[in-house]
Amino acid sequence: MHQPGPGIKPATENYTMPSYKLIYFNMRGRAEIIRYIFAYLDIKYEDHRIEQADWPKIKPTLPFGKIPILEVDGLNLHQSLAIARYLTKNTDLAGKTELEQCQVDAIVDTLDDFMSRFPWAEKKQDIREQMFNELLTYDAPHLLQDLDTYLGEKEWFIGNSEQQMFHPRHGAASAAACHQKWLRVSVLTRVS
């Protein structure tokens, strides 16, 4: 019997961890948050990486034709943030109360709104680089200022312990485990 990792609250003593298979491209992208959560919670999973050349054959077989997909005991889940919320639901990473869970969701969604503006699908490298640079130069500082204002004098974005979401000054131990690497940028901006 596989025991749940730290922070997971099994419903019964005879709890058996589901079988997980993460399906995504052979890159970080939208699956990286899921990998961070698996690593942080010490959950074993199969990390199935798809090569770009195989994508046209695989795409029509998937729900909504998109990845990442997390197979949980054969059931396909899609959407990276929905998967992340599922994996953290019974842990303190998602917040201890419904109010904290809402705060976590709001910060994650704020970061996702920003990430969604990036031209991931742009084929022309020069145009993509220009758009990335403009977002990072003009828009990222505003986002970081908003996050800094939201943080105020608090040490944590939500909650008051490392087992909870988003400690902006302790990088990989909490923020990176819970959401994309964006908070590392705010750590560097705030601390330096």
Give catalytic residues, as residue numbers: 24, 30, 120
Integer CA distances (angstroms), 102 to 41, 108, 159, in order? 21, 10, 12
By the 8 A CB rule, do 175 and 166 touch? yes
Phi, psi at residue 60, to the nearest 5°?
-65, -10
Determine the Cα–Cα distance for residues 117 and 120; give it in Å rounded to an integer: 9
Q: Which secondary-structure segment (H or E) carries 98?
A: helix 98-116
